[in-house]
Amino acid sequence: MKNNIYLLCFLATIFFFKNCTKVSEIPDDTVVSDFVWKGLNAYYLYQDQIEDLSDRRFNSDQQLNNYLKTFTSPSNLFNNLLLSNDLKSRLIDDYTTLEEPNIRSEKGFQYKVIIEPGTTDNVLCSVLYHLPNSDARIKGLNRGDFFNAVDGTQLTLANFESLLVNNSSNQLTLTMVNFDGTTVTPNGNFITVDNEILSSPPILKEELIPQNGDNIGYILYNNDFSKTYLNDLNNVILRFKNQSVTKLILDLRYNISGGGFTSNIAKLGAMLTEQSADAVFIKEQWNTKAQTWFELNQPDSLSTKFPKNLNSSTPINSLNLTDVYIILNGESFSGSSATELLINSLTPYLNVHIVGNQTIGNNTGAITLYNSVDYNFALRNNTHTFALQPIVLTFLNKNDQDYESGFSPSLNLCNNEDILDLGVLGNSSEPILNRILDYISNGSLGNANCNSDNYDHIFNSISKEPDLGVFIEQILPNTL
């Protein structure tokens, strides 16, 4: 009886995937819309909650074609087939733009913008850091400096984006000022820096901090979790391993949000805790139809194990950590989708201490689907460049725990760094790092270094980059 049930399930899933093929004639004017509907019908995580995506919605190809023709564009169709609160699934009109960037580029310095106290229109900029290979570093523009004008023009709410954020001039002359928390005072200094876009080093700081018999490693990681930067991290981990580091502070406060593929996040996880090759790092839960097919045909594809190698020639260097302290990135230290996945996946294996604020709970993953018989790239329809990036699964850890409600921090931070006391990054006296070291040493949370004057923070040059979510790479069934 049990075998008969499995057989029925298998036949049902075969019928489903066969039903979603493109073997029948598709009118030229509905090729893209047909791809959109069938891709979402097959893999959209919330397919069973959308009436128009039901397997019983249409009795024939003609009925489906008639339905598709009621929409003025593939985009209108796509948006109509999503849950109303789904802000993460995307329709891409040109998949050639989707290749993973090799190098992250950024301005030679990063900054925050606040409204100048006592005014309603003027703004003041606080320098967060400069890149080590930048003209800003050479000219002496440092963390904690303030400026309020560019090229002699006072920065305001109306003009700071055009004069600073989107300025394409070769150079910027910054009017430097002193700020005591209330009053802005020109100090007579002007710094002219190249308005350059540079390759961003993945690691801004690497420090070994001995404390109470522990060797604590500190990494200020500046990039996304793309494969481009993993080798740099791997080299730092080796140095820490040789220095007998047992606790690690992973500072992601300036880490950008995107670039999260599960395979890359698993490699980072493997650097932090040494586990056997069969230990599960991530589990996947797809929609009912796809989950059934994968369980019957590709069960191993539903979990990501701890990898042993970065690539064919480079082994992963692993620390045997007992504790990792992760300073969250994102707006108000609320984390990103990639950071949340890393935290959840590591939790069964070591003590993960979260430093920041309540996270959002972004526990879903997406995949890129192309218009082909198996939705993979190789056999794609070359008559158009549309692709789908729908939410297709939720992530679980080894213990089947998800994080839909987010994570509460072990150590709370204020929503913004104190711009009057930013400190020196990587120095044990830097306010945020100092609080963590106190916490490690004696369990004390220390004093919260909050924005006591309630400055109106209106822009962060790092946070302007959107969180595109976590993506998976999966071999999908050939539906012919």
List pLDDT tens digits, range 91-109. Answer: 999 999 876 555 566 889 9
Mean pLDDT value across residues 32-45: 97
Residues 324 and 295 in one domain: yes
- What is the pLDDT, as a whole number, of residue 127? 98
* Domain residue limits at 166: 105-199
pLDDT greater than 70 at residue 228: yes
Residue 454 covered by a domain? no
112 CB-near residues (< 8 Å, 6+ apart)? 125, 126, 128, 416, 419, 457, 459, 460, 461
- What is the pLDDT, as a whole number, of residue 448? 58
- What is the pLDDT, as a whole number, of residue 467? 76
pLDDT greater than 60 at residue 20: no
Residue 457 covered by a domain? no
pLDDT greater than 60 at residue 399: yes
Mean pLDDT value across residues 417-444: 92
- What is the pLDDT, as a whole number, of residue 444? 65
- What is the pLDDT, as a whole number, of residue 302? 95
Residues 40 and 139 in one domain: no
Residues 207 and 191 in one domain: no
pLDDT greater than 60 at residue 390: yes
Residue 312 covered by a domain? yes
Which DSSP string corresponds to 198-223? Answer: EEPPSEEEEEEEEETTEEEEEEEE-S
Residues 125 and 207 in one domain: no
CATH number at residue 264: 3.90.226.10
- What is the pLDDT, as a whole number, of residue 453? 62
- What is the pLDDT, as a whole number, of residue 100? 55
- Above pLDDT 70, what percent of the chain? 89
pLDDT greater than 60 at residue 14: no
| Structural domain total, the chain | 3
- Above pLDDT 90, what percent of the chain? 75
Distance CA(289)–CA(17), nearest Å, equals 9
**Contact indicator for 371, 384 with CB cutoff of 8 Å:** yes
Residue 360 covered by a domain? yes
Residues 167 and 224 in one domain: no
**pLDDT digit string, tens, across residues 50-102:** 999 999 999 999 999 999 999 999 999 999 999 999 989 999 999 998 765 55
Structure tokens at 302: 């539903």
**3-state percent breakdown (helix, strand, coil) of the chain, nearest 5:** 30, 25, 45
Residues 270 and 343 in one domain: yes
Residues 233 and 360 in one domain: yes
Residues 224 and 368 in one domain: yes
**pLDDT digit string, tens, across residues 127-166:** 999 999 999 999 999 999 999 999 999 999 999 999 999 9
Residue 459 covered by a domain? no
Element of type H or E holding 350: none
Average pLDDT, the chain: 89
pLDDT bucket at 473, cuts 50 / 70 / 90: confident
